[in-house]
Amino acid sequence: MIGALINLGRHKLRSFLTMLGMIFGVGAVIAMLSIGAGAEHESLRIIENFGIRNIIIQAKEFKTEELRQIRTESLGLCLRDVEALQTILKPRPLISASRLVKTYQINSDKARADSRVLGVSSTYPIIQNLKMLQGSFFLESDEKANAQVCVLGTVAKQKLFGFGDVLNQQIKINDVWMTVVGVLADAVLEKTEFEGVKVQNPNNDIYIPITTAVRKFETETVENELNEIVVQISRDANISEQASTINDLMSVMHRYVDDYSIIVPEKLLEQNQRTQGIFNIVMGAIASISLLVGGIGIMNIMLASVLERTNEIGLRRAIGAKKLDIRMQFMAEAIAISLAGGLIGVALGYGISEAVARFSGWSTIITGTSIGLSFGVSSIIGLIFGIYPAVQASNLDPIECLRYE
């Protein structure tokens, strides 16, 4: 191996040019795997926000005239649907309802805010996996009492109160005064959409009890009482079967009017993984072509090296070198070129993935597996494409080699 490295060092430019195919191939593999791993990690994080065992029922949006026609047959998404779901589904799931409150003013005694106000169930933070920074979320008893209490997202809290203490402070939403009982922990989301479904960031939201939203804030009669219902399925239940049951129940409750949609995050994850799998295959094929070109380049240069070093081969054979020695020398050179190209390729791939993460905002993750795989593939490429030149060199006739000029 030392002899192989010394020989490669004598022809630095040629050795580097030989490595280029391997460098770009390995760099492409590293970048592709890091982007794929980052996308998968981000998808799992978003699905965790949706809840892998959640089933989401959303009210569809229609123009006012269409909505009036629909209301002659269906009441739309409402609290009655929540009661029916709690009665029919076994084992009994956790259910959260939510409603977007129309606002024209949100202010404290210090400032105003343009936050989104949502009426939600007391189970909302459990189902949506939200954490508290200060205080606590409102209770079921607050729902039953139509309590005028609220919980703030971190951005909403800063807009209304700055960085001071907010617990038991009051804010005014439209004409209704609400007492702050808690502040949510900061949520980090890089995507606003996943497989066509909007991902909402709760940081600028204000949460009030769903019953308070329905009974103390005016709305047009044709609008849905609720915008969304989230059902968290028990671990003992089958998600697909429960989704089918929910669809059947909602069809009956809405008199078979298609004014709602059902989203199953588990299905979204499967769909995303299939898409990601196709992306990985395509990118892997492109990277494989680069590696193949690199391997062919190594073989061509090694064949040229055999021709150039014919006298050297003859001299080595004449002083006692065996065929195996010659074969191993050329194999070592081919593998050394591949490994060096692989090492530079890893650095290139790291640079590409960092650039992608910085300029596109995508999440990228370089794993030890991807680096090991790249080195393994580059070694195998060097071994395979170094065999033919090595065999050619070892089979040369020593006498003819010494005569060669």
Claim to verify: residue 29 and residue 103 sit in the same structural domain? no
Claim to verify: residue 318 and residue 381 sit in the same structural domain? yes
Quick one: pLDDT at residue 368? Answer: 79
Claim to verify: residue 100 and residue 29 sit in the same structural domain? no
Nearest one of 126, 106, 133 to 118, comparing CA atoms: 106
Claim to verify: residue 251 and residue 184 sit in the same structural domain? yes
Claim to verify: residue 111 and residue 75 sit in the same structural domain? yes
pLDDT tens per residue, range 302-345: 888 778 777 877 788 788 788 888 888 888 888 888 888 888 88
Among left, alpha and beta (phi > 0; psi -120 to 50; other), residue 187 is: beta
Last residue of a domain, which of 229, 258, 287? 258
State the average pLDDT over residues 43-49: 71
263 inside domain:
no
52 inside domain:
no
316 inside domain:
yes
pLDDT at position 204 over 60: yes
306 touches 392 (CB < 8 A): yes
* β-strands 94-101, 149-152 pairing: unpaired
Quick one: pLDDT at residue 9? Answer: 56
Residue 399 or residue 31, greater confidence? 31
Claim to verify: residue 164 and residue 214 sit in the same structural domain? yes
Claim to verify: residue 127 and residue 209 sit in the same structural domain? yes
Q: What is the rounded distance in angstroms from the CA atom of residue 376 to the CA atom of residue 240?
A: 41
Quick one: pLDDT at residue 16? Answer: 73
Nearest one of 89, 353, 85 to 241, comparing CA atoms: 89
Residue 111 or residue 28, greater confidence? 111
Claim to verify: residue 275 and residue 254 sit in the same structural domain? no
20 touches 340 (CB < 8 A): no
52 touches 269 (CB < 8 A): yes
Claim to verify: residue 251 and residue 289 sit in the same structural domain? no
Claim to verify: residue 393 and residue 291 sit in the same structural domain? yes
* Domains identified in the chain, total number: 2
Q: What is the rounded distance in angstroms from the CA atom of residue 200 to the CA atom of residue 194?
A: 11
Quick one: pLDDT at residue 352? Answer: 86
Q: What confidence tier does 253 reach under pLDDT thresholds 50, 70, 90?
A: very high
Q: What confidence tier does 7 reach under pLDDT thresholds 50, 70, 90?
A: low
Q: What is the rounded distance in angstroms from the CA atom of residue 383 to the CA atom of residue 299?
A: 10
Element (H, E) at 226: none
State the average pLDDT over residues 353-379: 80
3-state secondary structure of 77: coil
141 touches 121 (CB < 8 A): no
57 touches 260 (CB < 8 A): yes
User: Going by C-beta distance under 8 Å and a sequence separation of 6 or more, which residues neighbour residue 313?
Assistant: 306, 326, 393, 396, 398, 401
264 inside domain:
no
pLDDT at position 106 over 70: yes
393 touches 4 (CB < 8 A): no
Residue 347 or residue 18, greater confidence? 347
State the average pLDDT over residues 73-98: 90
Query: Please, is 163 exposed, middle or buried when counting C-beta atoms within 10 Å of its C-beta (0-12, 13-18, 19+)?
Result: exposed
Last residue of a domain, which of 224, 258, 292? 258
Quick one: pLDDT at residue 195? Answer: 52
55 inside domain:
no
320 inside domain:
yes
pLDDT tens per residue, range 47-74: 766 677 889 999 988 887 888 888 788 8
Q: What is the rounded distance in angstroms from the CA atom of residue 223 to the CA atom of residue 251?
A: 19
Mean pLDDT of the chain, nearest integer: 83
Query: Please, is 306 exposed, middle or buried when counting C-beta atoms within 10 Å of its C-beta (0-12, 13-18, 19+)?
Result: buried
Claim to verify: residue 154 and residue 37 sit in the same structural domain? no
Quick one: pLDDT at residue 364? Answer: 82
334 inside domain:
yes
> Domain containing 143: what range?
61-258
pLDDT at position 191 over 70: no
179 inside domain:
yes
Q: What is the rounded distance in angstroms from the CA atom of residue 198 to the CA atom of residue 243?
A: 20
3-state secondary structure of 284: helix
Claim to verify: residue 237 and residue 333 sit in the same structural domain? no
Tokens of 306: 């055999």
pLDDT tens per residue, range 365-376: 887 777 887 778
- Written as one letter, the residue type at 362 is W
3-state secondary structure of 254: coil
Quick one: pLDDT at residue 367? Answer: 79
Element (H, E) at 228: strand 228-232
CA dihedral 59, 63, 68, 71 (to 10 degrees): -10
The pair phi, psi for residue 385, each rounded to 5°, is: -80, -5
Element (H, E) at 212: helix 210-216
Q: What confidence tier does 150 reach under pLDDT thresholds 50, 70, 90?
A: very high
